[in-house]
Structure 1
Amino acid sequence: MKSNGCLSIFPTQMAITKRIKFFLPPPLPISNKEKNIRRVGFLLLLSLSVAFIFLSPIFHSQNPIKITTKHDFNQSNHLSTHQMEEETCDLFMGRWVPDPNGPSYTNWSCLTIPDSKNCAKFGRKDKGFLNWRWKPNGCDLPMFEPKSFLSIVRGKKLAFIGDSVARNQMESLLCLLSQEEIPTNIYKDTEDRFRTWYFPSYNFTLVVLWSKFLVLGIERVTNGTLSGVFDLHTDKIDVKWSEKIPDIDYAVISAGHWFFRPLYLYESEKLIGCVFCNDPNITDLGLGFTFRMIFRTALKHINGCKGCGGLVTLVRTYSPAHFEHGSWNTGGRCNRTSPISESEVNLKGGEDDFRKIQVEEVERVKIRKKGNKRYGVLEVTKAMLMRADGHPGCHWDNQWMEGYNDCVHWCLPGPIDMWNDLLLGMLKRESSL
């Protein structure tokens, strides 16, 4: 017999009853009516005792059933207001604040970091650039939650479409998601530009689709050698990525850094101008015009895609480079170890002009939206203008470009991880609609 809990109560009560009966005189004779009355009374008393035994743990529990008070209602309203602030605040306007916790993965815990972004492996000693987080004005941007992200995209396919900076974001996301599940590498082309990773527990596919310009660009060949000069057809989409989008649920598209070279621009097969061509007989239409035309063409193609269903397309805004004391091929470098303050950066320069063009083109396609496609802007330009400390610089596997600093791409881990914090924040909002 147990000596504690509800079961021990019954033998103790029986023993007490026996002792009481031992000292009482013999009972007097009673009538049947009195017997019935006593029997009913005994049953009532027994019912009350049993009820007390089973209900007493509730009244004496350290966690009783909570009665909501007026104060609790006020607190609940406060939490709802806080959640509303998080859902409506501008994630892209804010500042970098110190974060002693640092990133959620390291150069050694993520096995998929390529040598071109593995700054610690190639000699970068300072760690201070890792101890910052993005703080939007009016709310907090939570640290990336891989389980939450994978739950949202369960059964879906997400593609990063663009150049090597688009791939850089994919590589960051791969490290962040690998904390929850190690993905399977299911496809790599011969040039390692088209990659596919699969997360079996969530039936989620992550893809990178390489495209220098998003539109058709053909490099000119001079005497059998690639010239670095391109014929850019601003009204023709690059089919290498466009043919894949009917199978995509989420697309993050971007471009920019390949435009800083001689380009001859075509529309309807006719030469309409150039960029950086230095040809007196051809009008230099400028980077802004070119930038606008290629995003307009890309978004127009997505909007007209009949097999794209409810495709969600996010345009990631221009990612600034930070070459100082020269350009990429004239000794330019980026060896800062902490962020630049907002007052030090030019937030109204060419980079922000590119950002504005991208935002305007997304707004333009929203007005012309077909079907249940959705569009948004993943704005990183302003935040990244302050992160000149986040590039590999000379700390990368540059055996093929010895002596050149990389001030375009971003170290892993590093400030580019914030792009995926923002991406998760946007997907949370989108999935709640």
Structure 2
Amino acid sequence: MKFYSLFQEKHGQYTRKERCVSIGKLVPLFLCSLVATIILSFFLYFPYPLNPLTRCGFQQMYAPIRLNDNGNECFRFSDYGIANCDLFKGHWVPDDKGSRYTDSSCLTIPESNNCFMQGRKDDDFLKWRWKPDDCDLPRFDAKVFLDMVRGNKMAFIGDSVARNQLESLLCLLAQEEVPKDIYKDPEDRLRIWNFRGHDFTLMTLWSRFLVVGDRKVINGSSEYYNLHLDKIDESWTTNLPTIDYAIIAVEHWFFRPIYLYEGPNIVGCVYCYNSSITNVGVIGAIQMTFRAAFKYVNDCSRCRGIVTVVRTFSPSHFENGSWNTGGSCNRTSPIGEKEIDLGGEGWELRKIQVEETERARTEGDKKGKSFVIMDVTKATLMRPDGHPEEFWGNKWMKGYNDCVHWCLPGPIEVWNEFLMAILEKETGLISS
């Protein structure tokens, strides 16, 4: 959110020449005294002005000092070393502290993500923490997060997994301030919360593909989608000029038959068997869609200063079958890096997302727009234990396991720790 302040000054007028002359003599003395006072005050308040800004120093502007993970009152971001660290390369380590909230302390967890309420008994999957190889990732701090986004609007744009992350963030932020649920459309696809104490608005904007997608049904059973690359989905673009931070995440709806159009012309398809149409696959479809959507953001003249955070592919973990053939995900602990597939379609999809984000960032730099990648794929590939599996209520699809979405609380809390680190860099609290 950009704020504009208007300051008006009213000056008295002297009509007598003598008064003007006497005041004029005092001006140089007054200016010298003012400069000296400012310099002295600066060094009194900031005795080490060239040292990095501390997190507790940031917090002291709004709240009392709190302890860091090591029990120290004040600490610098250099203690964590995240400024020049690749946060997304690392491994999971044991952590007995567990989640910042519980299934009972957070009242906004959807039933389908509340795995404990649905009967899950083990909780070891909560006792792990992401450790980057070359630094430490700070734990999520709701006070710091809300102070950074004070006066701003943030939107999670995408599918139900994007909503999954937003629900996690709501639970984390509620430890500092419980938001007010101020709007929900009839389908719960546009929903808005407000943190009045911080003048912060958080919203979810549902979009399957980011572009317009028409659903077509064949013989009442099978279906496919027509995607129009030249028509961006208004369900999220309508609100875009009012948004400061856009977190974009779409992927899973692309794993179905799709026909891609530019105007009236078909330019590709996914899972189609027509030799006259180029089968671009899921990766090609996502590349074309992201390019069109990011171009829209960069060309949006009213979207000044917007920061677009692109969350990479969140893998599913079906074993011994797929979602509709009895696949399950009943592990109870993370797997190691040697056990994950860095050569599969999911990893290739992630690479395309990174490439398209970098492409958009280069163009956005010329237009005052920021594009940032939030690369969750590797960390998430190692967490087959974090899905609801059978513990999701099965309201809509009896007998099927959910190995796509994530339990709350659960491993995707790290996504919001990544997001907090990204915001710290974007707001200038830390710099490389």
Percent sequence identity over aligned pairs: 56
**CA offset at residue 277 of structure 1?**
1.8
What is the aligned partner in structure 1 of residue 401 from structure 2? Answer: 405
**CA offset at residue 239 of structure 1?**
1.2
What is the aligned partner in structure 2 of residue 383 from structure 1? Answer: 379
TM-score by structure 1 length?
A: 0.80
Alignment of 1:71-220 (within 5 A): 82-83=78-79, 85-220=81-216
Aligned mates of 1:116, 1:385 — CA distance in 2: 21
Letter in 2 for 1:97: V
What is the CA deviation profile of residues 13-44 of structure 1, one whole-angstrom value per residue up to 9, with x for unaligned ones?
A: xxxxxxxxxxxxxxxxxxxxxxxxxxxxxxxx
Alignment of 1:338-417 (within 5 A): 338-369=333-364, 370-417=366-413
What is the aligned partner in structure 2 of residue 262 from structure 1? Answer: 257
Q: Secondary structure at the match of 1:414?
A: coil
What is the aligned partner in structure 2 of residue 419 from structure 1? Answer: 415
What is the aligned partner in structure 1 of residue 266 from structure 2? Answer: 271
Letter in 1 for 2:130: W
What is the CA deviation profile of residues 316-373 of structure 1, one whole-angstrom value per residue up to 9, with x for unaligned ones?
A: 0010000001010010110000001111111221111111111111111122124221
What is the aligned partner in structure 2 of residue 335 from structure 1? Answer: 330
Letter in 1 for 2:322: S
Contact kept? 1:231, 1:263, Cα under 8 Å: yes
Contact kept? 1:234, 1:290, Cα under 8 Å: no
Across the aligned residues of Structure 1 and Structure 2, the Cα RMSD in angstroms comes to: 1.7
Aligned mates of 2:133, 2:232 — CA distance in 1: 38
Aligned mates of 1:226, 1:264 — CA distance in 2: 18
What is the CA deviation profile of residues 95-138 of structure 1, one whole-angstrom value per residue up to 9, with x for unaligned ones?
A: 00000010010000000000010000011000000000100111
Q: Secondary structure at the match of 1:228?
A: strand
Aligned mates of 1:234, 1:153 — CA distance in 2: 32
What is the aligned partner in structure 1 of residue 294 from structure 2? Answer: 299
Segments of 5+ residues of structure 2 without an aligned counterpart are: 1-46, 49-74
What is the aligned partner in structure 2 of residue 247 from structure 1? Answer: 242
Aligned mates of 1:134, 1:278 — CA distance in 2: 42
Q: Secondary structure at the match of 2:310?
A: strand
Q: Secondary structure at the match of 2:215?
A: strand
Q: Secondary structure at the match of 1:86?
A: coil
Q: Secondary structure at the match of 2:166?
A: helix
Aligned mates of 1:258, 1:109 — CA distance in 2: 32
Aligned mates of 1:272, 1:430 — CA distance in 2: 37
Contact kept? 1:162, 1:255, Cα under 8 Å: yes
**CA offset at residue 272 of structure 1?**
1.9
Letter in 2 for 1:159: A
Aligned mates of 2:215, 2:82 — CA distance in 1: 46
**CA offset at residue 83 of structure 1?**
4.3
What is the CA deviation profile of residues 262-312 of structure 1, one whole-angstrom value per residue up to 9, with x for unaligned ones?
A: 101111221122111223443212112111111111110000000011100
**CA offset at residue 430 of structure 1?**
1.0
Q: Secondary structure at the match of 1:368?
A: helix
Aligned mates of 1:283, 1:298 — CA distance in 2: 21
Going from structure 1 to structure 2, the CA distance change for 1:81 and 1:280 (only over 3 Å counts) comes to closer
Contact kept? 1:220, 1:226, Cα under 8 Å: no
Aligned mates of 1:170, 1:84 — CA distance in 2: 26
Aligned mates of 2:217, 2:85 — CA distance in 1: 50
Aligned mates of 2:125, 2:336 — CA distance in 1: 14
Q: Secondary structure at the match of 2:227?
A: strand
Contact kept? 1:214, 1:237, Cα under 8 Å: yes
Contact kept? 2:100, 2:172, Cα under 8 Å: yes
| Residue-pair matches, total | 356
Aligned mates of 2:204, 2:168 — CA distance in 1: 12
